[in-house]
């Protein structure tokens, strides 16, 4: 079926000697706007539909210039295209442009313009057919905006991933360096008298090294490699237990409201890290309340379906399934789009204080558990952070050893042969010295292949293997697997500045059957205690 627009288009290209009644019939068409222009671009004739599209009466339009109803941003393109036709370069053209209504609003239109000539071919003016394409234009604009939003989100995700990889690599190297500094400091302290100036200086060095190690752990958390231990966590109970701490951490002018769902499915996580998530989100909200206001902390169950969600999740949209939700809303100043795109960058802040890893650490923790964060905010409208964590997964039963982790007293020590493999020479030497001071014998290897060769030669004598996970060539997990094929059940201690990958490896190698994880940097006392526990199994 031919559309009115196509009929009109054929009419305007018809023989210019067509009968007047054909033109009258064309102008009675109420599906599209039609008008005739003089050579001076003034209206000579308009149909009722064109008048209604613009909101003018016919007498208001006749004699006026086309430019009066053309959107200012389209004036130049309209003039250039019209000049080409009036100068004889083309007999017709089609374009999209915007017209101004009488009330000041505008609409998008598709215009087909054709030259009008007399019987001798002399140009007399132009006839135009106009179709309102506002809906199509708005749809295209929405698609373009959505594409730009998705592109910006993708750039943000890629930036976060890049920063995460960088932070993880730097943190691992920093942990190794601090391992050497801490070990050397502790060995020096063993030979320095109490109260001496030298001892105080070395103690300061050790203290600074532990602080650097703490920063490295924060960087690992941002990178999504900071998971230490997991257990079933009731998020509502966890938040309820923090109410006193949260209240004392914000201004007295800030009101804290809680909407905690019960019962709530559990999530599997390290409760200390989840407390860090809650605290950082609340402190971030509190900083936006310059003159007081309210913060609402909510928990609940949340189901993610297969349909696209309106909220922008980072690092990516969560997979369909059941989740536990933590929501922190504030009535603060809100954020613009530029700020929203950078809030999870390490050390980024809009405040004059707080150059830390607060929200970046939140992102790393949530990412490490397979969760996601959505943020909604606009200037003057406050902000809402929604954290989703997977619900209903069984918790791991084994917890690795780590600095500060409460452990039972070590058993009585017996001499043993410990194979130490680490690509860092200082770490190797410090471990050897500490173990030999504890009465053990050591075998040394600087990489994975060297460790396997040493174990093949001395496998009957080796009591424990102390292996760095991140050695060039063969990593500690591969050395462990090879050694346990040669001698099933031999005790192994895996060491690394990373947590997440080692946790998975330890579980795969069955940590309950002689494989233990020791987080770098560790103290020399922790090292010897860990060896003693392996020997006692």
* Average pLDDT, rounded, for the chain: 79
Return the CATH architecture of domain 4-132.
2-Layer Sandwich (3.30)
Closest Cα to residue 493, out of 414, 416, 385, 412?
416
The CATH fold assigned to 148-223 is Helix Hairpins (1.10.287)
Beta bridge partners of 537: none
Query: Which residues of the chain register pLDDT less than 50?
Result: 1, 3-6, 8-9, 12-13, 15-19, 227, 308, 310, 347-348, 352-356, 393-412, 500-503, 506-512
User: Residue ranges per domain, the chain?
Assistant: 4-132, 148-223, 231-390, 417-536
Q: Which pLDDT score is estimated for 442?
A: 94
Using DSSP, state whether 462 is helix, strand or coil: coil
Structure confidence by residue, pLDDT tens digits, 368-400:
788 888 888 888 888 899 999 998 744 333 333
Q: Which pLDDT score is estimated for 224?
A: 57
Q: Compute the distance between CA of residue 498 and CA of residue 315 in angstroms, rounded to an integer.
A: 20
Q: Which pLDDT score is estimated for 5?
A: 45
Using DSSP, state whether 247 is helix, strand or coil: helix
Q: Which pLDDT score is estimated for 57?
A: 94
Please state at what angle helix 358-368 crosses helix 134-189, rounded to 10 degrees: 100
Pick the CATH number of 417-536 from 3.40.50.2300, 3.30.300.180, 3.50.50.60, 1.10.760.10: 3.40.50.2300
Q: Which pLDDT score is estimated for 84?
A: 83
What letter would DSSP give residue 70?
B
Is residue 276 within 8 Å of 304, Cβ to Cβ? no
Q: Which pLDDT score is estimated for 23?
A: 67
Q: Compute the distance between CA of residue 6 and CA of residue 147 in angstroms, rounded to an integer.
A: 32
Q: Compute the distance between CA of residue 311 and CA of residue 309 in angstroms, rounded to an integer.
A: 5
Q: Which pLDDT score is estimated for 164?
A: 58
Pick the CATH number of 231-390 from 3.30.1330.10, 3.30.565.10, 1.25.40.10, 1.10.3720.10: 3.30.565.10
Spatial neighbors of 225 by CB under 8 A, at least 6 apart, are 168, 171, 364, 368, 498, 499, 500, 501
Q: Compute the distance between CA of residue 361 and CA of residue 341 in angstroms, rounded to an integer.
A: 16
pTM over 0.85: no
Pairing of strands 464-468, 417-421: parallel
- C-alpha 316, offset from chain centre: 6
Q: Which pLDDT score is estimated for 500?
A: 45
Q: Which pLDDT score is estimated for 426?
A: 87
Structure confidence by residue, pLDDT tens digits, 316-330:
667 788 899 999 999
Q: Which pLDDT score is estimated for 257?
A: 94
Structure confidence by residue, pLDDT tens digits, 2-56:
544 445 445 544 544 444 656 676 777 677 899 999 989 899 999 999 999 999 9
Residue 211 burial by CB count (10 A; 0-12/13-18/19+): exposed, middle or buried? exposed
Pairing of strands 441-445, 106-117: unpaired
């Amino acid at each position: 079926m031919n559309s009115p627009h196509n009929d009109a288009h054929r009419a305007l290209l018809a023989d210019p000697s067509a009968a007047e009644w054909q033109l009258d019939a064309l102008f009675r068409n109420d599906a599209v706007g039609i008008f005739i222009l003089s050579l001076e671009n003034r209206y000579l004739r308009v149909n009722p539909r064109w008048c209604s599209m613009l909101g003018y009466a016919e007498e208001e339009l006749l004699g006026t210039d086309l430019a009066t109803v053309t959107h200012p941003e389209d004036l130049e393109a309209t003039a250039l295209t019209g000049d080409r036709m009036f100068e004889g370069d083309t007999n017709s053209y089609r374009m999209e442009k915007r017209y101004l209504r009488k009330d000041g609003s505008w609409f998008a239109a598709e215009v087909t313009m054709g030259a009008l000539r007399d019987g001798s071919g002399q140009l007399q003016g132009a006839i135009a057919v106009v179709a309102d394409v506002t809906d199509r234009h708005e749809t295209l604009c929405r698609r373009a905006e959505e594409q730009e939003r998705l592109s910006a989100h993708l750039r943000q995700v890629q930036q976060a991933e890049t920063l995460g990889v960088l932070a993880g690599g730097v943190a691992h190297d920093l942990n190794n360096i601090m391992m050497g500094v801490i070990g050397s400091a502790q060995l020096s302290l063993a030979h320095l008298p109490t109260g001496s100036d030298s001892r105080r200086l070395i103690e300061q060095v050790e203290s600074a090294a532990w602080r650097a190690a703490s920063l490295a752990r924060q960087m690992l958390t941002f990178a999504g490699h900071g998971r230490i231990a997991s257990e079933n966590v009731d998020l509502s109970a966890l938040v309820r237990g923090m109410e006193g701490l949260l209240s004392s951490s914000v201004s007295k002018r800030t009101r804290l409201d809680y909407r905690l769902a019960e019962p709530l499915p559990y999530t599997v996580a390290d409760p200390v890290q989840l407390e860090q998530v809650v605290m950082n989100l609340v402190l971030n909200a509190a900083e936006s309340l310059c003159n007081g206001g309210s913060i609402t902390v909510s928990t609940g169950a949340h189901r993610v379906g297969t349909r696209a969600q309106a909220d922008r999740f980072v690092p990516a949209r969560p997979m369909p399934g059941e989740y536990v939700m933590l929501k922190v809303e504030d009535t603060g100043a809100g954020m613009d789009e530029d700020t929203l795109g950078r809030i999870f960058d390490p050390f980024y802040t809009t405040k004059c204080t707080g150059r830390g890893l607060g929200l970046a650490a939140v992102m790393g923790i949530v990412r490490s558990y397979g969760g996601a964060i959505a943020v909604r905010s606009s200037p003057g409208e406050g902000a809402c952070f929604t954290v989703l964590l997977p619900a209903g997964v069984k918790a791991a039963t084994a917890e690795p050893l780590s600095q500060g982790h409460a452990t039972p007293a070590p058993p009585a020590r017996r001499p043993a042969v410990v194979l130490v493999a680490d690509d860092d020479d200082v770490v190797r030497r410090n471990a050897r010295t500490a173990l030999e001071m504890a009465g053990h014998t050591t075998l040394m290897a600087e990489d994975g292949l060297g460790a396997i060769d040493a174990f093949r030669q001395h496998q009957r004598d080796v009591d424990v293997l102390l292996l760095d996970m991140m050695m060039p060539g063969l990593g500690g997990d591969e050395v462990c697997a090879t050694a346990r094929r040669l001698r099933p059940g031999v005790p192994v201690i895996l060491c690394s500045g990373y947590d997440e990958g080692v946790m998975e490896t330890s579980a795969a190698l069955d940590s309950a059957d002689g494989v233990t994880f020791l987080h770098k940097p560790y103290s020399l006392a922790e090292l010897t205690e860990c060896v003693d526990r392996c020997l006692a199994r």
